[in-house]
């Protein structure tokens, strides 16, 4: 009977993995890169491929030392296979997310001796909205979460047996820790070391861990993984690397709020409650059970109870570490989700077996489920009416020089996907509640899992691409059109818009001008050679004050303009320059027909006498590294 049950559980795990693979990989390259992080990483990898420098990342001609090198290398390898597009940039995160789902499912199956429990754990991780969001983006967090989770799993397995049997697991833990450090630096240590130490102390195995942790071999493995890159960069840049990476990007992120990404001490509680819907509600009572109703005798007899304790400790350590940091973003908390999924699986397993009732656990579970689900349902259902109602306020909140997106003047029409997402979430909660009231625990548990899978599919394969089509796709199309029309010697600048994905899509560095730099813009436009400007439609009036400026094309909230030479080149009246010498001034076009989907050019009065082009600045790779993204 047990073998038949495990067979069904294994089949359920395979179905979860198939659904997770489809969710992570479907349409991976169909949505334009988002800003800033996706655009910055993709542009930095493109610069590596162009320069052949695979050691020191650069962005827009400047040092870019936000993260260690591993994420750039795996993205470059992926793009070598799939091409230099969005799918190649995002594939490493998707594969890391899938591998993590598999690892969590197998680990819970091994400890709980039930394949169905492993399937529930895999589902709780794979279908958490925040996990899907980050798993489909070219960021460092999915890769970091894979290494930190594998490291803690290996420590757990190393402490499960006697010293000889645990040696290989210690080496695997060291290797995973080293890869985590090469992915995101000291944060990997901040997640793994306290979690492992606290768990070992609780289990009474701290001194055993100290004796058996294979320190010499482990440190050697850690150094072999990290020393080549860290050593080479330090050898090339010296103290600038220490200041830019360890001090600016690590210590300052912990002690200071960078780029406005701040939040209170409880910032991540609602992030987890909504980002891991509906599984955070299931994890809450199980967290209390793991910490307060998990006696030592029970842990000594039951491996699942020990995994319970590791998951609870690791979840709390990650939550505390990132809550204490001054700089906060929702994706930072991702290393907590695998452990939250383990706890949620135990509660859902109890629900499936009719054992989830408890004086406190039962009401906590349902209250958290209805509160988080209610917030999501109401928020999504309100989108069609709220967007037109609050669109002017949303536009007013955009800061020209720091906001990455240029929104259209009119609110987009978004009806079907938000309502379908709200219906899916609400139906899942209702069906689970209905089944639980009728003592159908198996149906209640899997109703939540299936509904969350459908919810993520609707949101990330329907709603999010629709939103990106309004706020991001127009910029990509304009940038690609500019890349086709502008010659290699034409200059392109941005004005009142910092959007790193444009660097990737135009395939060139983009000098940045802020709104108050109108004089510098006029100087750029006075050049005889073509000079293009990427900006916002809302800045058309300010742009028109620069002598010689003409609007060439616009899509939604984005705009491309330029000087008279650029206007002629855009319409094909002058060939792209092929030499370093400036081309002759192009004559105004006669009866030129604007290209399809572009706005008619609006020409300002040309200057009486064009000044020679300004001396271009030499490459800035030797410049001091920037302290944060805002100064790029």
Percent of the chain surpassing pLDDT 70? 89
Task: Please give the full DSSP string across 356-373, using - where no structure is assigned.
Answer: ---TTHHHHHHHHHHHHH
Residue that the structure tokens 């406190």 belong to: 360
The reported pLDDT for the residue numbered 386 is 95
Query: Same structural domain for residues 447 and 494?
Result: no
Tell me the mean pLDDT in the region 346-366.
86
Write the CA distances from 64 to 301, 404, 627, integer angstroms: 51, 18, 9
The reported pLDDT for the residue numbered 494 is 96
Query: Same structural domain for residues 491 and 626?
Result: yes
Dist CA 538 CA 520 (whole Å): 19
First to last CA, the chain: 63
Query: Same structural domain for residues 597 and 550?
Result: yes
Least Cα distance to 202 among 212, 190, 194, 211 occurs for 194
pLDDT in tens, 459-508: 999 999 999 999 999 999 999 999 999 988 899 999 999 999 999 999 99
The packing angle between helices 2-25 and 115-126, to 10°, is 20
Question: Is 549's pLDDT higher than 50?
Answer: yes
The reported pLDDT for the residue numbered 472 is 95
Query: Same structural domain for residues 513 and 603?
Result: yes
H-helix or E-strand containing 118? Answer: helix 115-126
Query: Same structural domain for residues 626 and 505?
Result: yes
The reported pLDDT for the residue numbered 246 is 87
Query: Same structural domain for residues 455 and 414?
Result: yes
Beta strands in 302-435 (DSSP E): none
Query: Same structural domain for residues 563 and 588?
Result: yes
Query: Same structural domain for residues 513 and 609?
Result: yes
The reported pLDDT for the residue numbered 162 is 65
Instruction: Check residue 290 and give left, alpha or beta (phi > 0: left; psi -120 to 50: alpha).
Output: alpha
Query: Same structural domain for residues 509 and 365?
Result: no
Is 574 inside a domain boundary?
A: yes
pLDDT in tens, 140-181: 999 999 999 999 999 999 998 766 777 899 999 999 999 999
Residue 57 token pair: 């990342």
The reported pLDDT for the residue numbered 575 is 54
Residue that the structure tokens 């060139």 belong to: 508
The reported pLDDT for the residue numbered 445 is 94
- Provide CB contacts within 8 A for 626, sequence distance 6+: 62, 63, 64, 244, 632
Is 584 inside a domain boundary?
A: yes
Is 493 inside a domain boundary?
A: yes
Domain span at residue 545 reads 479-631
When mean pLDDT is compared across 164-168, 200-204, 542-546, the lowest value belongs to 164-168
Question: Is 584's pLDDT higher than 50?
Answer: no
Query: Same structural domain for residues 466 and 483?
Result: no
Query: Same structural domain for residues 562 and 467?
Result: no
Residue that finishes a domain, picked among 471, 492, 521: 471
Least Cα distance to 73 among 124, 138, 162, 161 occurs for 138
Is 218 inside a domain boundary?
A: no
Residue that finishes a domain, picked among 409, 444, 471: 471
The reported pLDDT for the residue numbered 258 is 66
Residue that finishes a domain, picked among 471, 494, 521: 471
Is 429 inside a domain boundary?
A: yes
Q: Residue ranges of the alpha helices (H) in 331-360?
A: 337-352
Question: Is 394's pLDDT higher than 90?
Answer: yes
Mean per-residue pLDDT of the chain: 89
Question: Is 616's pLDDT higher than 50?
Answer: no
**Dihedral, CA of residue 437, residue 440, residue 445 and residue 448, to nearest 10:** -60
Dist CA 407 CA 538 (whole Å): 9
| Cβ-contact 47, 508 below 8 angstroms | no
**Dihedral, CA of residue 266, residue 269, residue 270 and residue 273, to nearest 10:** -170
Tell me how many degrees the CA angle 311-265-402 measures, rounded to the nearest 5. 110
For residues 632 and 412, the model is more confident at 412
Is 214 inside a domain boundary?
A: no
pLDDT in tens, 44-98: 999 999 999 999 999 999 999 989 999 999 999 999 999 999 999 999 999 999 9
Query: Same structural domain for residues 465 and 558?
Result: no
Dist CA 567 CA 530 (whole Å): 8
Is 456 inside a domain boundary?
A: yes
Total domains present in the chain: 2
Instruction: Give residue 222's pLDDT band: very low, low, confident or very high (50, 70, 90).
Output: very high
| Cβ-contact 380, 419 below 8 angstroms | yes
Which three-class secondary structure string do you get for 520-555?
Answer: HHHHHHCCCCCEEEEEEHHHHHHHHCCCCCEEEEEE
Which three-class secondary structure string do you get for 580-630?
Answer: CCCCCCCCCCCCCCCCCCCCCCCECCCCCCCCCCCCCCCCCCCCCCCCCHH
pLDDT in tens, 297-339: 899 999 999 999 999 999 999 999 999 998 899 999 999 999 9
Q: Residue ranges of the alpha helices (H) in 161-278?
A: 163-184, 187-202, 206-212, 215-237, 239-241, 252-255, 268-275
Least Cα distance to 159 among 110, 113, 203 occurs for 203
Dist CA 148 CA 173 (whole Å): 9
**Dihedral, CA of residue 88, residue 93, residue 98 and residue 102, to nearest 10:** 140
Is 171 inside a domain boundary?
A: no
Instruction: Give residue 574's pLDDT band: very low, low, confident or very high (50, 70, 90).
Output: low
The reported pLDDT for the residue numbered 1 is 52
512-513 and 531-536 as β-strands: parallel, antiparallel, unpaired? unpaired
Phi, psi (5° rounding) for residue 599?
Answer: -80, 150
The reported pLDDT for the residue numbered 532 is 97
The reported pLDDT for the residue numbered 578 is 44
Residue 416 token pair: 């079907």
């Amino acid at each position: 009977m047990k073998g038949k049950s495990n067979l069904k559980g294994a089949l359920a795990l395979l179905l979860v993995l198939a659904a997770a693979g489809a969710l992570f990989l479907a349409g991976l390259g169909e949505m334009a890169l988002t800003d800033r992080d996706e655009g910055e990483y993709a542009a930095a990898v493109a610069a590596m491929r162009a320069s052949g420098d695979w050691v020191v990342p650069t962005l827009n001609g400047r040092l870019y030392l936000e993260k260690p090198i591993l994420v750039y290398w795996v993205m470059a390898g992926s793009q070598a296979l799939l091409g230099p597009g969005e799918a190649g940039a995002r594939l490493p995160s998707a594969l890391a997310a899938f591998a993590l789902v598999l690892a969590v499912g197998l680990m819970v199956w091994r400890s709980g001796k039930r394949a169905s429990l492993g399937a529930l754990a895999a589902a709780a991780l794979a279908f958490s909205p925040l996990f899907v969001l980050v798993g489909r983006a070219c960021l460092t967090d999915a890769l970091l979460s894979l290494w930190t989770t594998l490291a803690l799993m290996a420590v757990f397995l190393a402490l499960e047996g006697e010293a000889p049997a645990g040696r290989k697991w210690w080496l695997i833990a060291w290797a995973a820790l080293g890869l985590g450090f090469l992915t995101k630096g000291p944060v990997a240590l901040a997640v793994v070391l306290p979690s492992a130490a606290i768990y070992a102390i609780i289990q009474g195995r701290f001194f055993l861990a100290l004796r058996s942790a294979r320190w010499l071999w482990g440190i050697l493995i850690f150094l072999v993984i990290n020393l080549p890159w860290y050593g080479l960069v330090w050898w090339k840049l010296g103290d600038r690397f220490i200041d830019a990476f360890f001090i600016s990007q690590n210590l300052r992120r912990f002690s200071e709020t960078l780029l406005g990404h701040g939040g209170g001490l409880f910032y991540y509680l609602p992030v987890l409650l909504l980002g891991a819907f509906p599984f955070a509600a299931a994890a809450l009572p199980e967290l209390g059970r793991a910490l307060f109703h998990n006696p030592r005798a029970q842990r000594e007899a039951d491996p699942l109870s020990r995994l319970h304790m590791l998951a609870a400790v690791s979840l709390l350590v990650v939550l505390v570490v990132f809550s204490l940091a001054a700089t906060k973003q929702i994706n930072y908390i991702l290393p907590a989700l695998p452990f939250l999924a383990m706890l949620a699986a135990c509660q859902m397993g109890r629900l499936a077996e009719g054992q989830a009732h408890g004086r406190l656990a039962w009401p906590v579970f349902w209250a958290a489920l209805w509160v988080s689900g209610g917030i999501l349902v109401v928020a999504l259902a309100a989108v069609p009416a709220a967007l037109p109602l609050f669109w002017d306020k949303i536009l007013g909140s955009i800061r020209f020089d720091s906001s990455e997106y240029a929104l259209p003047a009119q609110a987009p029409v978004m009806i079907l996907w938000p309502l379908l997402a709200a219906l899916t979430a609400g139906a899942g909660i209702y069906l689970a509640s209905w089944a639980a009231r009728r003592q159908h625990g198996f149906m209640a548990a899997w109703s939540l899992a299936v509904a969350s899978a459908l919810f993520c599919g609707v949101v990330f394969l329907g709603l999010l691409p629709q939103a990106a089509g309004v706020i991001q796709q127009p910029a990509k199309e304009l940038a690609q059109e500019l890349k086709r029309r502008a010659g290699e010697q034409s200059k392109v600048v941005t004005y009142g818009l910092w959007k790193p994905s444009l660097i990737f899509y135009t395939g060139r560095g983009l000098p940045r001008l802020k709104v108050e730099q109108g004089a510098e813009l006029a100087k750029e436009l006075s050049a005889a050679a073509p000079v293009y400007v990427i900006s916002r439609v809302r800045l058309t009036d300010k742009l028109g004050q620069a002598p010689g400026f003409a609007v060439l094309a616009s899509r939604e909230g984005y705009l491309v303009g330029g000087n008279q030479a650029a206007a002629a080149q855009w319409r094909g009246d002058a060939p792209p320059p092929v030499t370093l010498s400036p081309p002759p001034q192009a004559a105004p076009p006669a009866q030129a027909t604007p290209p399809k989907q572009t706005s008619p050019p609006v020409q300002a009065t040309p200057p009486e006498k064009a000044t020679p082009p300004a001396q271009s600045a030499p490459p800035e790779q030797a410049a001091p590294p920037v302290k944060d993204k805002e100064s790029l």
